[in-house]
Amino acid sequence: MMLDEENKRRPTAHEIGCDLSAISADELRARIALLNAEISRINDEIVRKELGRKAADNLFGPKV
């Protein structure tokens, strides 16, 4: 790949707080999709951790 082509490539990630004025509407939509996918991934991990914690609490919780 030529050096000029590398400089023209846009990053695929989104940096929180970055300047959005030079980004096309299509690219902004792509970034929204990327961020929504990341939010979903994070929410899935939260659920996984909470289920693991509940299982541990049930296994090792106080016995009456």
SS (H, E, C) 1-64: CCHHHHHHCCCCCCCCCCCCCCCCHHHHHHHHHHHHHHHHHHHHHHHHHHHHHHHHHHHHCCCC
Write the pLDDT tens digit of every residue in 4-21: 665 566 556 889 999 999
Determine how many CB atoms are found less than 10 A away from the CB of residue 31. 19
- Rounded CA separation 25/27 (Å): 5
pTM: 0.67
Write the pLDDT tens digit of every residue in 29-64: 999 999 999 999 999 999 999 999 999 999 887 766
Place of tokens 């940096």: 15
